[in-house]
A and B are shown apart, each in its own frame.
Chain A
Amino acid sequence: MTDTNDQTEIATLRLRLEEAEETIRAIRSGAVDAFVVEVPNGARVYTLETADRPYRLLVEEMQQGALTLSDNGSIAYCNRRFADLVGRPLERLMGVAFRVFIPLDARTDYESLLQQGRAGGSQGETHVLHADGTLIPVFLTLNALPPDCGAAVGLLVTNLTTQRHHEKLDALLGTLKESDVRKNEFLAMLSHELRSPLAPITNALQLLVLEQANENPTQQQARGIIERQMGHLQHLIDDLLEVSRITTGRVQLHQERLVVSDIVRGAVETVRPLIEELRHELTVLLPSEPIWLYADAARLEQVLVNLLTNAAKYTDDGGHIWLTVELEGVAPVATFARTWASPPETHVLANVATKSVVIRVRDTGVGITPELLPHIFDLFTQAERSLDRSQGGLGIGLALVQRLTELHGGTVEVHSECRHGSEFVVRLPIVSGTALAAGSSPGTSTPRQSTPPAASAVPLKTPVASAPPLRILVVDDNVDTAETMGMLLHATGHEVRTAHDGLAALEAALDYRPNVAVLDIGLPGLNGYEVAKRIRQEPTLKHIVLVALTGYGQELDRETSLEAGFDHHLVKPARFAQLQQILASVSEMVVRPPPPIHPSQLQSQRKGVAP
């Protein structure tokens, strides 16, 4: 046993000896970085140059000024970065009191920072003076150093110039965003306000149209001009409204089951006058089978109208435009990758589920320059157009096309080569018949007036339907709007009374007992909703058909007006034809109570309606 112990001890001692020899060898050959020495109050590390270098480099290259200050606040060491910051030669900085770089009015603060730094640590913002006289904003971090360091305080100087710059930019960005919001609000308000005078002008113009048989050539020419320019003005205001809807994200869809080709026909009818005027050839290719979509008819038509109008406008007279509709079986990328690995049946199924309809609008026009191409779907982007073709517009058509397509779950892309025409490709998901049944919109008892697409720019037409005379109450606080509407209705054979505020409207309803009341919502005293509610509460007035005529066209406004008891909701400027249709349906249903129709009214009706 003892023998074994001895042997173990010998082995251990041998190891220790080997270690000691190794250590000496390593030190001799310079293979170590530092020594650790035990001193009375702990340990001390003596570093050799090799180990020190990285720290030196770090301190010299760092983005901050690094210094050590002696007990009296003079510079014991500083890196080149600080010398650059104050614009002085490095060699001249040793021994200089740091306070000389601090502006006079900030020196007291600096002295107290230094004092706190000596005591342990401190930090604060101040400025340092550059040799060229500029003041540089800086952040100082001071730390007390151990007693044996040869300096009292370590000091870091961080240049805040860039940070201040970023702060300024941030503030500027904030201001810009705010003014953008205000601009959007202004646009929304402006377009709303512009529609108010448009209503009586439209009505008055409609009156002139009804009387056109009696006009002389000058009047006819003048009316023609007003009619065309009104159409243009209305188009611009509609565009403005669309801009504010887009920028505030208030575009809403009223989706229903529909056949693509119906939409295409509608769009083509709308742009046909423009295409014929410019002598373009339009080729429309539709698939033989009907393709069903779940979409907003008016909005989808607007997409196609915008694309076709663009194609017509940016193609020299006598060009060619193609509109093709076809089914495409390409699945979205993720599904596609999966179906490759799947058995054939799955592949087919996946394709059926993700089939889309592709609508292409191609032209032989001027094309789009490469610079413009990336921005073609941005708001307010417009290509240069020749002066003779100054059709105006606000540059929102394609932005709207993209927004509306995306709202329908589709995509739009563009291919174009300058001078060689453009092709816009709209892809929309089609939905299978069973899926549609559940999703299609319920009750259609209330005729929905779609938010005005380009169709509202179509010149005013003589009313289509003739209606047996009705008694109509027209209420609008804009006297001109009420009066012109009254004149127009009177000219088409109806009996009319007008009122300009809520209470007067209620009195007139009780006194006059109209068949139909057309009510503005924003009325002084009692608003349109209140008037409607009170009329509905009055048993003797329960048969009145209530029509809201308002500048507010949002879904919520519709709901509110239906809740208040309105039967119909029209958005200003309502086309007279829309009101005519409502009146016609009322005439069919209402068995008119006495008094009987006055012969003079019958006459004026015939005169107005039969052209």
Chain B
Amino acid sequence: MKNTDSDTTAAFEKLVAGTPSDEHYVLRLYVTGMSPRSTEAFASIKAICDERLQGRYELEVIDIYQHPQLAIDEQIIAVPTLVKKLPAPLRRLVGDLSNQDRVLLGLDLRRKP
């Protein structure tokens, strides 16, 4: 029990302190095939990853037409949605993902001053 406690504490402290720059990111982007919003979202997230997370991220793109069950499992309601699975805590960003500031904020990657 003690372990779980300290893990939670650590998670909280991270939440407060912001994300250290060496953390590994696991991201999933849910899209609807080739809609303009989907392609924009993908382009924007890919750009952020390449700029800020180079060498330490995994990005999966899931088409809900092809894998609807995955969306259900991940409790996706509307698409496009970006899910940050790691680092904790899990976060979902829904809707317009072409706004880079919004995505950066959602991923705890506030712009460097």
Contact = CB atoms under 8 A, between A and B. Distances in A.
B8 A5 contact: yes
Given A15-B91, A36-B64, A54 B12 contact: no
Contact of A33 (B69, B79, B91, B93): B79
B109 to A, nearest CB: 16
Given A29-B95, A43-B69, A50 B35 contact: yes
A240 B92 CA distance: 82
Interface stretch (B21-29, B51-59, B70-78): B70-78
Interface stretch (A18-26, A91-99, A272-280, A299-307): A18-26
B18 interface: no
Interface string A1-36: 100110110011001000100110111010111111
B15 A11 contact: yes
Contacts of B77: 23, 35-36
Interface string B78-106: 11100000000101111110000000000
Contacts of A50: 35-37
Contacts of A15: 89, 91
Interface string A147-168: 0000000000000000000000
A47 B71 CA distance: 14
Contact of B96 (A4, A26, A45, A51): A26
B19 to A, nearest CB: 14
Contact of B78 (A27, A44, A54): A27
Contact of B94 (A1, A26, A38, A43): A26
Interface residues of A, number: 32
Nearest to B1: A1
Contacts of B69: 42-43
B32 A45 contact: yes
Nearest to B2: A1
Nearest to A47: B32
Contact of A32 (B11, B71, B95): B95
B68 A45 contact: yes
Interface in B28-55: 31-38
B32 A33 contact: yes
Nearest to A5: B8
B64 A8 contact: no
A19 B76 CA distance: 11
A149 to B, nearest CB: 13
A23 B8 contact: no
B35 to A, nearest CB: 4
Contacts of B92: 19, 23
A340 interface: no
Contacts of B15: 11
Contacts of B31: 33
Contacts of A32: 37, 78-80, 94-95
B34 A54 contact: yes
A25 B93 CA distance: 11
B35 A54 contact: yes
B12 A19 contact: no
B72 A36 contact: yes
Nearest to B99: A31
A263 B78 CA distance: 87
Contacts of B79: 32-36
Given A15-B91, A31-B95, A43-B72, 5 more contacts: A26-B94, A32-B37, A35-B78, A36-B71, A51-B35
Interface of A: 1, 4-5, 7-8, 11-12, 15, 19, 22-23, 25-27, 29, 31-36, 38, 42-45, 47, 50-51, 53-55
Instruction: Report, nearest first, the 7 A-B pairs whose CB atoms are least far apart.
Output: A26-B95, A43-B68, A31-B95, A51-B35, A32-B78, A51-B32, A33-B32
Interface of B: 5, 8-9, 11-12, 15, 31-38, 64-65, 68-69, 71-72, 76-80, 89, 91-96
